[in-house]
Amino acid sequence: MSNQNAEAYPIEIAFPDISPHAEGNTGIAYVHSFDSGMPGPHVMINALTHGNEVCGAIVVDELLRSGLRPRRGKLTLAFANVDAYARFDPDRPDAARFVDQDFNRVWTAAVLDDPSRTSSELARAREMRPVIDTVDALLDLHSMHEKSAPLIVSGPLEKGVALAVRLGAPSTVISGEGHPEGRRMRDYEGFGREDSAKNALLIECGQHWEKSAVTVARDCTARFLLLAGIVDEGDLPSDWTVPLPTTIHVVRVTEPVVAKSLDFRFAGPYTGLEIFETAGSVIGWSDGEPVVTPYDDCMLVMPSLRQLRPGVTVVRLGRVEQRIERT
């Protein structure tokens, strides 16, 4: 159930027709892989983890239409929850996030291997899993319910934070365990183990349907491909990258705030990255009880009531751990 009283943001970007990419070349619909035949990592750019997050679909569509091929290693370009994308309705845009369950909460071997669990999203995850199992570096392109500054979700491990800092943009890196509902793709198997060389980043590029989210998605994709070393700068559109931010903040998520029921409301019109200087500041109410910040200088990470229901994370709380100045 979504919050029907939430502000309806304008849809500023056109949704691409991805049907020409349906066949794929991997035996998996909407998943395309290109092997250079030269040594190098297997890099994956993934779009449509959620069906209404269109900026990643625009970028993957553009890369496929451009005929980009890796000079080294292997490149996979994928559209994930295509069934949810096909259901998009401008009059109910949030309803296309998923069909049965959140595609980004099913990524543990135990869940994927359990035949008693079935859903549209689990079927698609199981279909894509053999390719994802071979990926060394994953970039998962997302966008946000609310209009907020873009950010990198690096996962809880230091290797993820280090990769985010090397990428250099967006300027806020969010490090944390994820959601109580289930594991994200970016934390799946080797991506989520410090002893594995595999690594992944999730980019929240901005509000779902604002033009600037596409700019962020293009910039991060170009930087990720160049950082992985599988393409050269001249292989990518010259206008995709934008100047890097001068400062990067690394924020450690300490805990989620999870709705117990539909009776949850925030104390203000928060959109994300707000900082509360004093511990005990009231940020909302759950079942009539105040929800307060647990420490000084507490940051709100991606607050939203659009998917409000029991068990959903409505905001995460974070502490700024590093401020890195670019020289």
Q: Let me know if 213 is exposed, middle or buried by CB neighbors in 10 A (0-12, 13-18, 19+).
A: buried
d(CA 217, CA 235): 17
- Asked, for residue 67, whether it belongs to a domain, the answer is yes
Q: Domain span at residue 270? A: 253-325
pLDDT one-digit tens code per residue, 258-305:
999 999 999 999 988 999 999 999 999 999 999 999 999 899 998 999
Give the end of a domain, one of 202, 227, 247: 247
The confidence band for 2, taking pLDDT boundaries of 50, 70 and 90, is very low
pLDDT one-digit tens code per residue, 188-231:
999 999 999 999 999 999 999 999 999 999 999 999 999 999 99
- Asked whether residue 185 falls in the same domain as residue 321, the answer is no
Asked if residue 1 has pLDDT above 50, the reply is no
d(CA 103, CA 51): 9
Mean pLDDT of the chain: 94
pLDDT one-digit tens code per residue, 144-197:
988 889 999 999 999 999 999 999 999 999 998 877 778 999 999 999 999 999
- Asked whether residue 203 falls in the same domain as residue 243, the answer is yes
d(CA 262, CA 307): 10
- Asked whether residue 84 falls in the same domain as residue 121, the answer is yes
Range list of H helices, 113-266:
120-132, 158-167, 211-228
Q: Let me know if 88 is exposed, middle or buried by CB neighbors in 10 A (0-12, 13-18, 19+).
A: middle
Give the end of a domain, one of 194, 215, 247: 247
Give CA angle at 276 (267, 284), nearest 5°: 20
The confidence band for 6, taking pLDDT boundaries of 50, 70 and 90, is low
- Asked whether residue 219 falls in the same domain as residue 186, the answer is yes
C-alpha distance across the termini of the chain, in Å? 46
- Asked, for residue 6, whether it belongs to a domain, the answer is no
- Asked, for residue 235, whether it belongs to a domain, the answer is yes
CATH of the domain at 319: 2.40.50
The confidence band for 118, taking pLDDT boundaries of 50, 70 and 90, is very high
- Asked whether residue 57 falls in the same domain as residue 100, the answer is yes
- Asked, for residue 12, whether it belongs to a domain, the answer is no
- Asked whether residue 214 falls in the same domain as residue 306, the answer is no
Pairing of strands 247-258, 172-175: parallel
Contacts of 281 (CB under 8 A, 6+ apart): 292, 293, 298
Judge contact between 173 and 191, C-beta under 8 A.
no
- Asked whether residue 38 falls in the same domain as residue 161, the answer is yes
- Asked whether residue 193 falls in the same domain as residue 301, the answer is no
CATH of the domain at 34: 3.40.630.10
| Number of domains forming the structure of the chain | 2
Q: Let me know if 287 is exposed, middle or buried by CB neighbors in 10 A (0-12, 13-18, 19+).
A: exposed
Contacts of 26 (CB under 8 A, 6+ apart): 32, 33, 76, 131
The confidence band for 7, taking pLDDT boundaries of 50, 70 and 90, is low
Q: Would you list the DSSP string of 260-284?
A: SSS-EEESS---S--EESSTT-EEE
Give the end of a domain, one of 192, 219, 247: 247
Least confident of 95-99, 192-196, 322-326: 322-326
- Asked whether residue 90 falls in the same domain as residue 138, the answer is yes
pTM for this one? 0.90
pLDDT one-digit tens code per residue, 17-28:
999 999 999 999
Q: How many CB atoms lie within 10 A of CB 285?
A: 14
- Asked, for residue 3, whether it belongs to a domain, the answer is no
- Asked whether residue 72 falls in the same domain as residue 188, the answer is yes
- Asked, for residue 11, whether it belongs to a domain, the answer is no
Please compute the mean of the pLDDT values over residues 48-64 and round it to a whole number: 98
- Asked, for residue 265, whether it belongs to a domain, the answer is yes
Looking at residue 3, its pLDDT comes to 44
- Asked, for residue 8, whether it belongs to a domain, the answer is no
The confidence band for 4, taking pLDDT boundaries of 50, 70 and 90, is very low
Looking at residue 157, its pLDDT comes to 96
- Asked whether residue 74 falls in the same domain as residue 150, the answer is yes
- Asked whether residue 207 falls in the same domain as residue 293, the answer is no
